[in-house]
Amino acid sequence: MKNFVFSEGVIQRISQYLRFLVELKDLGKRTVTSSDISENTRINSAEVRRDLINLGIKGKRGVGFNIDGLINNFNQILGHDANVKLILVGAGNLGKAILNYQILKKFGFDIEYVFDNNEKIIGKKISEKEVMDINSLQDIINESNIRVAILAVSQNSAQNVTDLLVKSGIKVIINYTSVPIEAPPHVNIQTNDPIEKLLHTLYYLSNTGQAF
Protein backbone atom coordinates (compact mmCIF):
# COMPACT_ATOMS: atom_id res chain seq x y z
CA MET A 1 0.00 0.00 0.00
CA LYS A 2 1.25 3.42 -0.92
CA ASN A 3 2.28 5.59 2.03
CA PHE A 4 0.14 8.68 2.43
CA VAL A 5 1.74 12.10 2.56
CA PHE A 6 -1.36 13.63 4.13
CA SER A 7 -3.26 12.55 7.20
CA GLU A 8 -6.94 11.64 7.26
CA GLY A 9 -7.72 14.89 9.04
CA VAL A 10 -6.00 17.01 6.39
CA ILE A 11 -7.78 15.22 3.53
CA GLN A 12 -11.12 15.68 5.26
CA ARG A 13 -10.52 19.39 5.73
CA ILE A 14 -9.29 19.88 2.16
CA SER A 15 -12.53 18.31 0.95
CA GLN A 16 -14.49 20.84 2.99
CA TYR A 17 -12.34 23.72 1.74
CA LEU A 18 -12.79 22.63 -1.86
CA ARG A 19 -16.54 22.37 -1.61
CA PHE A 20 -16.80 25.91 -0.25
CA LEU A 21 -14.37 27.32 -2.83
CA VAL A 22 -16.21 25.84 -5.81
CA GLU A 23 -19.48 27.28 -4.54
CA LEU A 24 -17.78 30.65 -3.94
CA LYS A 25 -16.34 30.66 -7.47
CA ASP A 26 -19.81 29.97 -8.83
CA LEU A 27 -20.94 33.22 -7.21
CA GLY A 28 -18.31 35.10 -9.20
CA LYS A 29 -15.78 35.55 -6.38
CA ARG A 30 -12.08 35.57 -7.28
CA THR A 31 -10.35 35.77 -3.91
CA VAL A 32 -10.94 34.44 -0.44
CA THR A 33 -9.34 34.88 2.98
CA SER A 34 -8.51 32.18 5.49
CA SER A 35 -11.11 33.79 7.77
CA ASP A 36 -13.76 33.35 5.06
CA ILE A 37 -12.84 29.68 4.73
CA SER A 38 -12.91 29.20 8.49
CA GLU A 39 -16.28 30.89 8.90
CA ASN A 40 -17.98 28.91 6.14
CA THR A 41 -16.48 25.50 6.91
CA ARG A 42 -16.59 25.97 10.69
CA ILE A 43 -12.97 24.88 10.91
CA ASN A 44 -10.81 26.79 13.38
CA SER A 45 -9.07 29.71 11.64
CA ALA A 46 -5.69 28.70 13.08
CA GLU A 47 -6.18 25.21 11.62
CA VAL A 48 -7.02 26.67 8.21
CA ARG A 49 -3.93 28.88 8.20
CA ARG A 50 -1.74 26.00 9.36
CA ASP A 51 -3.04 23.76 6.57
CA LEU A 52 -2.39 26.40 3.91
CA ILE A 53 1.11 27.06 5.22
CA ASN A 54 1.96 23.34 5.40
CA LEU A 55 0.70 22.90 1.84
CA GLY A 56 2.96 25.73 0.68
CA ILE A 57 0.03 27.92 -0.38
CA LYS A 58 0.63 31.64 -0.02
CA GLY A 59 -1.81 34.50 -0.24
CA LYS A 60 -1.38 38.25 -0.68
CA ARG A 61 -1.58 40.53 2.30
CA GLY A 62 -4.79 42.52 2.22
CA VAL A 63 -6.16 40.45 -0.68
CA GLY A 64 -6.20 36.84 0.39
CA PHE A 65 -5.92 33.77 -1.81
CA ASN A 66 -6.76 33.33 -5.46
CA ILE A 67 -9.74 30.96 -5.58
CA ASP A 68 -8.77 29.33 -8.88
CA GLY A 69 -5.28 28.69 -7.54
CA LEU A 70 -6.61 27.11 -4.36
CA ILE A 71 -9.05 24.92 -6.27
CA ASN A 72 -6.28 23.71 -8.58
CA ASN A 73 -3.98 22.95 -5.64
CA PHE A 74 -6.64 21.03 -3.73
CA ASN A 75 -7.76 19.14 -6.83
CA GLN A 76 -4.21 17.96 -7.43
CA ILE A 77 -3.85 16.78 -3.84
CA LEU A 78 -7.11 14.84 -4.01
CA GLY A 79 -6.31 13.34 -7.42
CA HIS A 80 -9.27 15.23 -8.83
CA ASP A 81 -7.61 16.78 -11.88
CA ALA A 82 -10.09 15.20 -14.29
CA ASN A 83 -13.80 14.46 -14.34
CA VAL A 84 -14.89 11.54 -12.19
CA LYS A 85 -17.36 9.10 -13.73
CA LEU A 86 -20.18 7.62 -11.67
CA ILE A 87 -23.10 5.31 -12.24
CA LEU A 88 -26.63 5.78 -10.93
CA VAL A 89 -28.76 2.78 -10.03
CA GLY A 90 -32.44 3.66 -9.85
CA ALA A 91 -34.25 5.84 -12.37
CA GLY A 92 -37.46 6.52 -10.43
CA ASN A 93 -38.43 9.88 -8.97
CA LEU A 94 -35.35 10.03 -6.75
CA GLY A 95 -33.04 9.00 -9.57
CA LYS A 96 -34.53 11.68 -11.83
CA ALA A 97 -33.93 14.30 -9.16
CA ILE A 98 -30.31 13.21 -8.82
CA LEU A 99 -29.80 13.38 -12.58
CA ASN A 100 -31.06 16.96 -12.49
CA TYR A 101 -28.79 17.80 -9.54
CA GLN A 102 -26.47 20.13 -11.43
CA ILE A 103 -24.10 20.64 -8.51
CA LEU A 104 -22.57 17.22 -9.23
CA LYS A 105 -21.35 18.47 -12.62
CA LYS A 106 -20.11 21.67 -11.02
CA PHE A 107 -17.72 19.60 -8.91
CA GLY A 108 -16.61 17.46 -11.85
CA PHE A 109 -18.75 14.38 -11.14
CA ASP A 110 -20.45 12.99 -14.24
CA ILE A 111 -23.11 10.30 -14.13
CA GLU A 112 -22.01 8.15 -17.06
CA TYR A 113 -24.56 5.34 -16.86
CA VAL A 114 -28.05 4.93 -15.40
CA PHE A 115 -29.50 1.50 -14.55
CA ASP A 116 -32.93 0.23 -13.60
CA ASN A 117 -34.95 -3.01 -13.68
CA ASN A 118 -38.22 -1.43 -14.79
CA GLU A 119 -38.96 -2.58 -18.33
CA LYS A 120 -41.21 0.45 -18.85
CA ILE A 121 -38.31 2.90 -18.63
CA ILE A 122 -35.36 0.78 -19.84
CA GLY A 123 -34.19 2.22 -23.14
CA LYS A 124 -35.75 5.62 -22.50
CA LYS A 125 -33.76 8.79 -21.83
CA ILE A 126 -33.83 10.85 -18.68
CA SER A 127 -31.86 14.09 -18.72
CA GLU A 128 -30.14 12.86 -21.90
CA LYS A 129 -29.05 9.62 -20.22
CA GLU A 130 -30.37 6.32 -21.54
CA VAL A 131 -31.71 4.02 -18.83
CA MET A 132 -29.95 0.66 -19.12
CA ASP A 133 -31.01 -2.77 -17.95
CA ILE A 134 -29.52 -3.55 -14.55
CA ASN A 135 -28.59 -6.99 -15.89
CA SER A 136 -25.87 -5.29 -17.93
CA LEU A 137 -24.45 -3.43 -14.93
CA GLN A 138 -21.58 -5.79 -14.09
CA ASP A 139 -20.24 -6.00 -17.65
CA ILE A 140 -20.39 -2.23 -18.14
CA ILE A 141 -18.64 -1.50 -14.85
CA ASN A 142 -15.90 -3.96 -15.70
CA GLU A 143 -15.42 -2.38 -19.12
CA SER A 144 -15.54 1.24 -17.96
CA ASN A 145 -13.55 0.81 -14.73
CA ILE A 146 -15.98 3.08 -12.88
CA ARG A 147 -15.62 2.75 -9.12
CA VAL A 148 -18.27 5.09 -7.69
CA ALA A 149 -22.02 4.43 -7.63
CA ILE A 150 -25.09 6.32 -6.46
CA LEU A 151 -27.81 4.09 -5.05
CA ALA A 152 -31.39 5.34 -5.49
CA VAL A 153 -33.50 2.18 -5.52
CA SER A 154 -36.43 0.96 -3.43
CA GLN A 155 -35.91 -0.16 0.17
CA ASN A 156 -36.56 -3.79 -0.76
CA SER A 157 -33.91 -3.75 -3.48
CA ALA A 158 -31.22 -1.76 -1.68
CA GLN A 159 -29.15 -4.60 -0.22
CA ASN A 160 -29.40 -6.85 -3.30
CA VAL A 161 -28.24 -4.01 -5.55
CA THR A 162 -25.46 -3.19 -3.09
CA ASP A 163 -24.25 -6.78 -3.28
CA LEU A 164 -24.23 -6.55 -7.08
CA LEU A 165 -22.27 -3.30 -6.98
CA VAL A 166 -19.67 -4.82 -4.66
CA LYS A 167 -19.38 -7.89 -6.85
CA SER A 168 -18.88 -5.62 -9.86
CA GLY A 169 -15.93 -3.80 -8.27
CA ILE A 170 -17.54 -0.61 -7.01
CA LYS A 171 -15.47 1.00 -4.22
CA VAL A 172 -17.69 3.90 -3.14
CA ILE A 173 -21.47 3.81 -2.75
CA ILE A 174 -23.47 6.96 -2.09
CA ASN A 175 -26.64 5.63 -0.47
CA TYR A 176 -29.68 7.75 -1.21
CA THR A 177 -32.13 5.11 -0.01
CA SER A 178 -33.86 5.34 3.36
CA VAL A 179 -32.42 2.06 4.67
CA PRO A 180 -28.93 1.10 5.87
CA ILE A 181 -26.88 -1.12 3.60
CA GLU A 182 -23.94 -3.39 4.34
CA ALA A 183 -20.76 -3.96 2.36
CA PRO A 184 -17.24 -5.35 2.96
CA PRO A 185 -14.72 -3.09 4.71
CA HIS A 186 -12.98 -2.18 1.45
CA VAL A 187 -16.17 -0.54 0.13
CA ASN A 188 -16.93 2.95 1.40
CA ILE A 189 -20.61 3.73 2.04
CA GLN A 190 -21.75 7.32 2.45
CA THR A 191 -25.22 8.47 3.40
CA ASN A 192 -24.81 12.22 3.85
CA ASP A 193 -23.21 15.21 2.15
CA PRO A 194 -22.26 13.32 -1.03
CA ILE A 195 -20.16 16.07 -2.58
CA GLU A 196 -17.82 16.42 0.39
CA LYS A 197 -17.56 12.66 0.80
CA LEU A 198 -16.87 12.09 -2.88
CA LEU A 199 -14.09 14.65 -2.78
CA HIS A 200 -12.74 13.05 0.37
CA THR A 201 -12.57 9.52 -1.05
CA LEU A 202 -10.86 10.61 -4.27
CA TYR A 203 -7.51 10.90 -2.49
CA TYR A 204 -7.59 7.27 -1.40
CA LEU A 205 -8.94 5.99 -4.71
CA SER A 206 -6.17 7.79 -6.61
CA ASN A 207 -3.45 6.53 -4.27
CA THR A 208 -4.48 2.94 -3.53
CA GLY A 209 -7.58 2.09 -5.51
CA GLN A 210 -9.46 1.79 -2.21
CA ALA A 211 -11.63 4.26 -0.33
CA PHE A 212 -11.61 4.40 3.45
The contacts of residue 44 (CB under 8 Å, 6+ apart) are 38
Please tell me the predicted confidence (pLDDT) of residue 2. Answer: 41
| Higher-pLDDT residue of 121, 204 | 121
Domain end: 21, 56, 78, which one? 78
105 and 194 together in one domain? yes
* Residue 145: Cβ within 10 Å count: 8
Whether residues 35 and 140 share a domain: the answer is no
Of 50, 78, 106, the residue that ends a domain is: 78
Q: Smallest Cα–Cα separation from 137: which of 165, 96, 95?
A: 165
Which residue segment(s) compose the domain that 96 sits in? Answer: 84-208
- Assess if residue 133 is contained within a domain: yes
Residues 72 and 104 in one domain: no
Tell me the DSSP string of 47-67.
HHHHHHHHTT---BTTTBEEH
Prediction pTM value: 0.71
201 shares a domain with 127: yes
List residues bridging with 125 in a β-sheet. Answer: 130
pLDDT score at 165: 97
Residue 108: inside a domain: yes
- Number of domain units in the chain: 2
Q: Are residues 101 and 145 in the same domain?
A: yes
Query: What local confidence, expressed as pLDDT, does residue 106 receive?
Result: 75
Computed over every residue of the chain, the mean pLDDT equals 87
Same domain flag for 163 and 129: yes
Q: In this structure, how many other beta carbons lie within 10 angstroms of the beta carbon of residue 76?
A: 10
Residue 111 near residue 88 (C-beta atoms within 8 A): yes
Give the torsion sign (CA, 150, 155, 158, 159). positive
Based on the domain organization, do 131 and 183 belong to the same domain?
yes
Average pLDDT, integer, range 39-68: 93
Instruction: Give the tens place of pLDDT for each residue, 150-201.
Output: 999 999 999 999 999 999 999 999 998 989 999 999 998 888 666 776 777 7
Q: 79 by DSSP, 3-state: which?
A: coil
- pLDDT tens track for 80-116: 655 788 999 999 998 998 888 777 777 778 899 999 9
pLDDT at 212: 41
CB atoms within 10 A of CB 30: 12
Q: Identify whether 1 is part of a domain.
A: no
**Beta strand segments in the chain, E:** 31-32, 65-66, 84-89, 109-116, 125-126, 129-133, 148-151, 172-175, 188-190
**pLDDT reported for residue 3:** 44
Write down the pLDDT at residue 158.
96
Of 78, 97, 113, the residue at which a domain comes to its end is 78
Mean pLDDT lowest for which of 4-13, 14-23, 126-135? 4-13
Same domain, 59 and 156: no
d(C-alpha 108, C-alpha 198), whole Å: 10
Verify that 143 and 181 share a domain, yes or no: yes
